[in-house]
Amino acid sequence: MTKLSVNINKIATLRNARGGNNPNVVKSAIDCEKFGAQGITVHPRPDERHITYQDVLDLKEVVTKEFNIEGYPDQRYLGIIDKVRPDQATLVPDGPDVLTSCAGWDTIKKKSLLTDLIAELKEYGARVSIFVDPDPKMVEGAKEVGADRIELYTEPYAVNFHEDKQKAVADYITSAQLAQEIGLGLNAGHDLDLHNLQFLKQQIPYLDEVSIGHALICDAIYYGLENTIQMYLRKLQ
């Protein structure tokens, strides 16, 4: 079974556009779980352009399934993980000035940094996943630095999917197989949607989790949040 973790950043973006508390981020998380999502993902950036520090604290009190907090591992992020103690901490390599994640970690060049960070995060009781490109060397490096899981960065797959889906997924299959062989859990995320998700799941049936935000929230505008979550869950069956 592949779990669906709904990234609710865009709910917060919409709320922040007008101030106030509409839409309500906490209620949205509760509803996502009620509608079938097996997890909630947030990425609290330093400028708080979507999820805020207070949001994370509030969500801690209501998320009953898996709580996944993404972020660049600076002292602010480490402090959040220490305070909130989420189920999963997902490390992304993009700094605070980056609009959205655009690459995975170089687990070879950043070996020393990641080894120390992951050891600290595990002291806080979190499962640690790190964002990587579909490159066997990066996957092997993730194992060496002590990660529990990798999250395959799927934007290149999504970009090339409609042109040649088999070619687009080839490197992901190779990297996923290696991860399974060496004992790494396997997540995937970024630009996954109703068009490309099912094929990815078919090619990599042992995916542990997908994290989907932007496309799912956009689809919810047309189909409604409950129906949209069910549509994504069916793609994962």
pLDDT digits (tens, 9 = 90+) for 149-171: 999 999 999 999 999 999 999 99
**Ordered domains of the chain (ranges, CATH):** 3-235 (3.20.20.70)
DSSP 107: T
45-97 pLDDT, tens per residue? 999 999 999 999 999 999 999 999 999 999 999 999 999 999 999 999 976 66
**Looking at the predicted structure, is the pLDDT value of residue 9 above 80?**
yes
The pLDDT assigned to 97 comes to 63
Whole-angstrom distance, CA of residue 6 vs CA of residue 11: 11
Position 94 scores a pLDDT of: 79
What pTM, to 2 d.p., does this model score? 0.94
Calculate mean pLDDT across residues 214-223: 97
**Tally of CA atoms within 13 A in the half-sphere of 161 that contains its CB:** 18
So which residues are the catalytic ones? 43, 70, 190
pLDDT of res. 103? 79
Look at the block and give the residue holding tokens 């069910």. 230
Phi, psi of 95 (to 5 degrees): -75, 180
- Asked if residue 128 has pLDDT above 70, the reply is yes
pLDDT of residue 11: 97
Neighbour tally for 176: CB within 10 Å: 24
Q: What is the 3-state secondary structure (H, E, C) of 9-67?
A: HHHHHHHHHHCCCCCCHHHHHHHHHHCCCCEEEECCCCCCCCCCHHHHHHHHCCCCCEE
What are the structure tokens assigned to 122, written together? 């595990």
Q: Taking residues 203-226, what's their average pLDDT? A: 98
